[in-house]
């Protein structure tokens, strides 16, 4: 498998962590989002949405959208599972994952920030404030949705909610947002980063990291 990804992309981080946890071998191909690689015709043939990650299977089939890729990986290699089988618990895990994947990440995406700076004269300080605003809103909801436990979000092993939380925490640290108001989120991040499979998926561990 070939994973098209970018070291700092939190959606790529989620997929790298899942591949590592499931022990699926993959080759990584860097798409430099800051240089604009995602807008080249070659890459748009891989992913018409001009984003990362994209996963190329052994037969050349291309999959896009990180959560769709994670769903596929869970079907292809069910152990360890990213989602519990019980429908209500599953809905709670998905609600937390989606509070990050839908309510925070897309609004803070590089392309949205670029548009904000290009069309609304936003300064880099405005961009930072924008990112922190949506992270604070979203993480407040996530903190309210998480149960009180000792380690992972909902279960004895990391799942979809844990991976989304840990990748988003990387962005929170990057932009100077304190996790002090979010002790349950901080607990999940610590539990995840104790695992070598997840540490190996972190941005700074990637071959395209500077």
| Number of residues lying near its own copies (CB under 8 A) | 49
Q: Binding of its own copies at residue 209 (CB under 8 A)?
A: no
DSSP H helix total and E strand total for the chain: 9, 4
Secondary structure element (H or E) that encloses residue 135, with its range: helix 124-145
Residues 139-168 that bind its own copies (CB under 8 A): 140-141, 144-145
In the complex with its own copies, which residue's Cβ is closer, 17 or 73?
Answer: 73
Query: On the CB side of 71, how many CA atoms lie within 13 Å of its CA?
Result: 9
In the complex with its own copies, which residue's Cβ is closer, 65 or 208?
Answer: 65
Q: Nearest to residue 138, comparing CAs of 107, 162, 112?
A: 107
Residues 60-119 that bind its own copies (CB under 8 A): 61, 63-65, 67-69, 71-72, 75-76, 87-88, 90-92, 94-95, 98-99, 101-103, 105-107, 109, 111-112, 115-116, 119
Peptide bond into 160 cis (omega under 30): no
Tokens representing 66 are: 């990180």
DSSP 185-203: HHHHHHHHHTSHHHHTTSG
Q: Which residues bind its own copies (CB under 8 A)?
A: 47-51, 61, 63-65, 67-69, 71-72, 75-76, 87-88, 90-92, 94-95, 98-99, 101-103, 105-107, 109, 111-112, 115-116, 119-122, 126, 130, 133, 137-138, 140-141, 144-145
């Amino acid at each position: 498998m070939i994973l098209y990804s970018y070291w700092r992309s939190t959606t790529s981080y989620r997929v790298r962590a899942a591949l590592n946890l499931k022990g699926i071998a993959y080759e990584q191909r860097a798409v430099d989002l800051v240089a604009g690689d995602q807008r080249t015709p070659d890459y748009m043939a891989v992913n018409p949405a001009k984003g990362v990650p994209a996963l190329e299977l052994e037969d050349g089939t291309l999959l896009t959208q990180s959560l769709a890729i994670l769903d596929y990986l869970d079907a292809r290699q069910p152990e360890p599972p990213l989602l519990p089988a019980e429908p209500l618990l599953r809905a709670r895990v998905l609600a937390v994952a989606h509070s990050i994947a839908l309510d925070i990440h897309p609004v803070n995406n590089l392309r949205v920030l670029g548009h904000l700076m290009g069309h609304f004269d936003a300064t880099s300080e405005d961009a930072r404030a924008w990112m922190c605003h949506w992270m604070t809103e979203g993480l407040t909801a996530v903190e309210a949705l998480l149960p009180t436990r000792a380690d992972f979000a909902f279960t004895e092993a990391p799942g979809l909610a844990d991976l989304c939380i840990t990748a988003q925490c990387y962005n929170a640290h990057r932009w100077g947002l304190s996790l002090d108001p979010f002790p349950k989120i901080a607990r999940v991040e610590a539990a995840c980063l104790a695992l070598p499979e997840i540490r190996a998926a972190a941005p700074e561990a990637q071959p395209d990291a500077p």
